[in-house]
Amino acid sequence: MELSPYSAASKAFHAAALIRLEAEKPKKEDYSDYKAFRREYKAWHGSWTRCHQEVHDPAKREAERERDSARHAERRARPPEPAQPCFKKPRGRAPLAEGKPCSWNSDDGFWTTANGCYHDVAAVRKASKTEHFQRSKRIDKEEQKQRRSLCARIAAAVEASGVPAPSARRRHRRPSERYGKIVLTPAPLFWVMAEALVAQEEFLTWWQFQWHYRAQLASQL
């Protein structure tokens, strides 16, 4: 079977290329890095295999080209894959707006309410924390006021029984101290009776009574 002029020219071209590739075969002793040698040898071996098939087995090489063309045509005929969202949905549960879960807008990257409005998660979280802290501060202030009144009532009850209450005086500040200290005169019986009354209360502890009572005496100086 005679070869066409194009096939003969192609075979002659690849035969010359095969001779050139044989001369350019990488040698292991020319490389200090084995990985670099393997990369160069792999690239050379692929070129040598294609040229060798073109020269000695053109039918097999033509079958491989047809198979590659069919594979590429099949890949081009496939429907395009759906586009990936620009902004990935955050992990976790969706935030609530007016009791309803929000929807994630993957094009713009933010949450939207059931009405389609923008939902600022950071602003809502900040407002919720502020409200929580204000409520806690208000409750703590009310509890402190109740404890102060309870402390004053217990102290008045002990003093009404004829037990002398301790008096306070401010000690002069030393050079090593930042503030002057409050010193109470000893009144052991007062503290014993006060501790017995505090033990009957559930809303006031002994430490809280001492702290509020000392603050009350210090405010009178």
> Domain coordinates of the chain in residue numbers?
5-77, 81-120, 137-219
Question: Mean per-residue pLDDT for 117-127?
Answer: 88
Tokens representing 33 are 């890095």
Task: Give the span between the Cα atoms of 144 and 39, in whole angstroms.
Answer: 78
CA distance 201 to 75: 82
Q: Is the pLDDT at 22 greater than 60, yes or no? A: yes
**Is residue 99's pLDDT more than 70?**
yes
Q: How many CB atoms lie within 10 A of CB 217?
A: 17
Which pLDDT belongs to residue 172?
61
Asked whether the whole model's pTM tops 0.85, one would answer no
Helix axes 206-219, 188-198, angle to 10 degrees: 130
In this predicted structure, what is the pLDDT of residue 4?
46
Distances (CA, A) of 105 to 50, 66, 87, 110: 51, 46, 8, 5
Residue 85: pLDDT over 70: no
What are the pLDDT digits (tens) for 190-210? 888 888 888 888 778 888 888
Rounded mean pLDDT of 119-136? 89
